[in-house]
Amino acid sequence: MRYTTLCLTLSVCLMVASSFAGAEEPLYAYVGTFSSPLHDPLPTQVDLPEGNGRGIHIFRVDRSTGGLTAVGECRLGTSPSHVAINSAGTRLYTANETDHVGEQQHGTVSAFAIDRADGSLTKINTVSSGGAGPTYVSIHPSGRYLLVANYFGGSIAVVPILASGELGEPTDVQAATGNIGPTKATHAPEGSFAISGHDRTHAHMIETDPSGRFVVHVDLGQDRIYVWQLDLESGKLSPAEQPFVALPPGDGPRHFSFHSNGRWFYSIQEEGSTVTLFDFDSKSGSLTKRQTIASLAPGYAGSNFCSEILVSSDGKFLYAGNRLHDSISVFAIGEQGELEFVNYHWTRGDYPRSFAFEPSGQFLYSCNQRADNLAVFRVNRDTGELKFTEQYVPVGNPSCIVFLDFENVSQPSTNE
């Protein structure tokens, strides 16, 4: 079933007219948020009772300072908490983190066309995400499928991307089955009461390995990382040779990041406050655990919920997000992939749900969900350290930020 009519009711895309000097191609940032329903009388189920965001917030990025200038909004009331942009820079896709559409218990994903002239968005269509509360979307390297993790539904879905950029109905939905981990994490800091997702299965992230041969997703409730193969013709998933690998009970894997060499895989555990290094076999898709290290500064005690994890583009450093501690920890990556703690940096705001580097890697942006702001940091590429630029950007309940650099995308053809 299509939901175009519903989204036309819920979304109005507004752009603020701005003029910028210089002839360089623009760099835009798109911020997904937790946003309250505009017309739906049923409440949206998100981390906060009512979202303060207004859908997708759009900014022009200053390449020299990292500053963000607001240029528009695409107003949505279904909490577009995660967004992804295709490699051509022509389409943006959202995970709309709601658990219902009217009386139907599932979430949705949406497709938008990106206007090259000003970065504005025009909605193409919306379809079912194949489960409740979609929290993550990524695009298969072939460009033919959108991969979806449904957190509340505990399922993952494969959604075809048509030649027009429109989304089709899911070609496959896989719901995890099996035991749920305990509410007390094996590696929780001393005195921790961090309990989040061990009530049922909770798919939290889904992406391919760098080669695109395998699809990986994490289930926080089951303490498992699953590996799949995707048939590009049918859009169906099948388990890899090693279907899953288990993390310590209760630790709760949330996100992961591949090293650029494709051989090292790092996962972050939300309730255990750990980062784990795996060796990844690009031929079989198997994962072999090699190191586990705390995501927090030595000596920390109390509750913490981990969030984002990213490897720098040069492969020298890894960054791990901590909520309640409200920090980003920096780790040096050794010659064999092992991690060594370097330092941690306050995020200048409450509950950093995620963070991202802009394309050059000079700046990092922390999405401080409960502080309703983004904080901008300059990255020292030699030491990995972060330095706050004194720049705060107001955004209600920011959840993720992605970038579109028109200097690095070709002029689209007429059918894109």
Which structural domains are found in the chain, ordered by start?
A: 1-171+389-408 (2.130.10.10), 176-346 (2.130.10.10)
Give the global pTM: 0.93
Is the confidence at residue 7, as pLDDT, over 80? no
The model's confidence at residue 24, banded by pLDDT at 50, 70 and 90, is confident
The tokens describing 99, both together, are 């658990």
Q: pLDDT-derived band of residue 395, with 50, 70 and 90 as boundaries?
A: very high
Give the number of other Cβ atoms within 10 Å of residue 162's Cβ.
12
pLDDT at 303: 96
Q: Write down the pLDDT at residue 44.
A: 46
Q: Decide if 259 contacts 311 (C-beta within 8 A).
A: yes
pLDDT surpassing 60 at residue 17 = no
The CA-based angle 138-61-358, given to 5 degrees, is: 45
pLDDT value of position 38: 57
Cα 42–46–52 angle (5° rounding)?
90
Q: Is the pLDDT of residue 2 over 60?
A: no
Q: Which two tokens stand for residue 293?
A: 């290290």
**Is the pLDDT reported for residue 152 higher than 70?**
yes
- Give the least confident one: 98-107, 121-130, 190-199, 342-351: 98-107
Query: How much is the pLDDT for 88?
Result: 96
- Cα distances from 276 to residues 164, 318, 320, 395, in angstroms, run 40, 11, 11, 32
Q: What is the pLDDT of residue 78?
A: 85
Q: What pLDDT score was predicted for residue 388? A: 98
pLDDT band at 39 (very low <50, low <70, confident <90, very high): very low
pLDDT band at 410 (very low <50, low <70, confident <90, very high): low
Burial category of 350 from C-beta neighbours within 10 Å (exposed 0-12, middle 13-18, buried 19 and up): middle
Q: What is the pLDDT of residues 358-369, one digit of tens each?
A: 999 999 999 999
Ranking 196-205, 261-270, 376-385 by mean pLDDT, the lowest is: 196-205
Q: Where do we find the tokens 């898709």?
A: 285
Would you place residue 177 in the very low, low, confident or very high pLDDT band (cuts 50, 70, 90)?
confident
| Residues making up the chain, counted from first to last | 416
Higher pLDDT, 106 or 239: 239
pLDDT reading at 18 higher than 50: no
Question: What integer pLDDT is reported at residue 102 of this predicted model?
Answer: 66
What's the Cα-to-Cα distance from 11 to each of 37, 100, 127, 340, 392, rounded to whole Å? 10, 17, 15, 46, 27
> Quick one: what percent of the chain has pLDDT higher than 70?
88
Contacts of 17 (CB under 8 A, 6+ apart): none
Strand partners, 301: none
Burial of 250 from C-beta contacts in 10 A (0-12 / 13-18 / 19+): buried
> Which run of H or of E encompasses 113?
strand 108-114
- Statement: residue 3 has pLDDT above 60: no
* Mean pLDDT, residues 127-133 taken together: 94
**Statement: residue 43 has pLDDT above 70:** no
Q: Which is it for the CA torsion 5, 11, 12, 16, positive or negative?
A: negative
- Residue 189 CA neighbour count, 13 Å, CB half: 22
Average pLDDT, the chain: 91
Mean pLDDT of 266-288: 98
**Is the predicted pLDDT of residue 9 greater than 70, yes or no?**
no
CA-wise closest residue to 329 among 339, 342, 316, 313: 342
Confidence at residue 83, expressed as pLDDT on a 0 to 100 scale:
98
